[in-house]
């Protein structure tokens, strides 16, 4: 008996339509799978490229950071050399009368702090005219400074108070001797504390007075002065290079 696969033409048509749809879907699935595989390979390739680029940037950043550190270190060394050269120039009058080691200590360490706890501005340098009281002197023997905050004054270095007083020119003033060859002066104070009585031994943390405008002055400021002993007399030197500035 002959077996008839198809009962009718309609079933045969539906079979081939289903087969065709299956083949089309299978084809698209294969194409999509291939595209996805290619896309994954592309992502992987780009990830490797970006990873290599990141590593390159990281190495470059490390080199740049190290170079910046070296530049900062060199700048600090240059600043120290410039400061020491300025101190050396200021100490010229006293150098012939001190031992080399003491001179080296003075150049490197004197003083070790600012007279104020806050940043300050310099209103008149050594050798310049001082405009306080509206009169400019031909020569200014100190450095005039004004703090932004607290007016309390510290000595520039540890030492012994050798003199305090009140004069028409200096107002209330304090003299602190730090060694046989160096002393500092503080003028125009509004108040002198008991910590700064004559022969008092003080440190750079000691509060010795408060800034003011006593004496020949019409505006609050501190006249800071460094003096060196030449073997015969105390002479004023430029103390600007000794200030620890925080401006």
pLDDT of residue 134: 46
What residues make up the domain containing 46? 1-90
pLDDT surpassing 50 at residue 2: no
State how far the Cα of 91 lies from the Cα of 70, in Å rounded to an integer: 31
Phi-psi category of residue 234: left, alpha or beta, with phi > 0 → left and psi -120 to 50 → alpha: beta
Between 197 and 179, residue with greater pLDDT:
197
The residue from 56, 90, 124 where one domain ends is: 90
pLDDT surpassing 90 at residue 164: yes
- What is the pTM assigned to this prediction? 0.61
Each residue's pLDDT tens digit, 76-94: 788 777 777 776 776 666 6
Q: Do 69 and 20 fall into the same domain? A: yes
Q: Where do runs of H (alpha helix) occur along 91-180? A: 100-109
Q: Do 238 and 141 fall into the same domain? A: yes
Residues 6+ apart with CB under 8 A from 126: 140, 141, 142, 143, 236, 237, 238, 239, 240
Angle between helices 100-109 and 9-90 in degrees, nearest 10 = 140
Return the minimum-mean-pLDDT range out of 41-45, 114-118, 163-167: 41-45
Between 243 and 11, residue with greater pLDDT:
243
Each residue's pLDDT tens digit, 33-74: 666 666 677 777 777 777 777 777 777 778 888 888 888 888
The residue from 90, 108, 137 where one domain ends is: 90
Residue 247 maps to a domain = no
Q: Looking at the 3D structure of the chain, how many domains does it have? A: 2
State how far the Cα of 147 lies from the Cα of 116, in Å rounded to an integer: 7
């Amino acid at each position: 008996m002959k077996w008839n696969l198809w009962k009718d033409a309609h079933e045969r048509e539906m079979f081939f339509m289903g087969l065709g749809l299956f083949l089309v879907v299978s084809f698209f699935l294969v194409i999509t799978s291939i595209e996805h595989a290619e896309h994954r390979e592309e992502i992987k390739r780009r990830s490797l490229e970006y990873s290599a680029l990141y590593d390159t940037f990281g190495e470059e950043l490390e080199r740049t950071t190290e170079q910046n550190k070296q530049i900062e270190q060199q700048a600090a060394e240059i600043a120290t050399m410039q400061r020491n050269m300025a101190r050396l120039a200021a100490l010229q009058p006293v150098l012939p009368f001190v031992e080399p080691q003491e001179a080296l200590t003075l150049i490197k360490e004197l003083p070790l702090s600012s007279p104020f706890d806050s940043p300050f501005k310099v209103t008149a340098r050594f050798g310049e005219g001082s405009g306080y009281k509206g009169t400019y002197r031909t020569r200014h023997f100190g450095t005039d400074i004004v703090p932004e905050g607290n007016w309390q004054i510290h000595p520039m270095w540890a030492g012994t108070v050798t003199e305090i007083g009140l004069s028409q020119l200096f107002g209330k003033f304090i003299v602190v001797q730090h060694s046989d060859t160096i002393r500092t002066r503080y003028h125009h104070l509004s108040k002198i504390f008991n910590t700064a009585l004559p022969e008092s031994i003080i440190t750079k943390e000691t509060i010795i007075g408060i800034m003011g405008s006593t004496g020949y002055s019409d505006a609050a400021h501190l006249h800071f002065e460094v003096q060196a002993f030449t073997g015969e007399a105390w002479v004023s030197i430029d103390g600007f290079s000794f200030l620890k500035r925080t401006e």
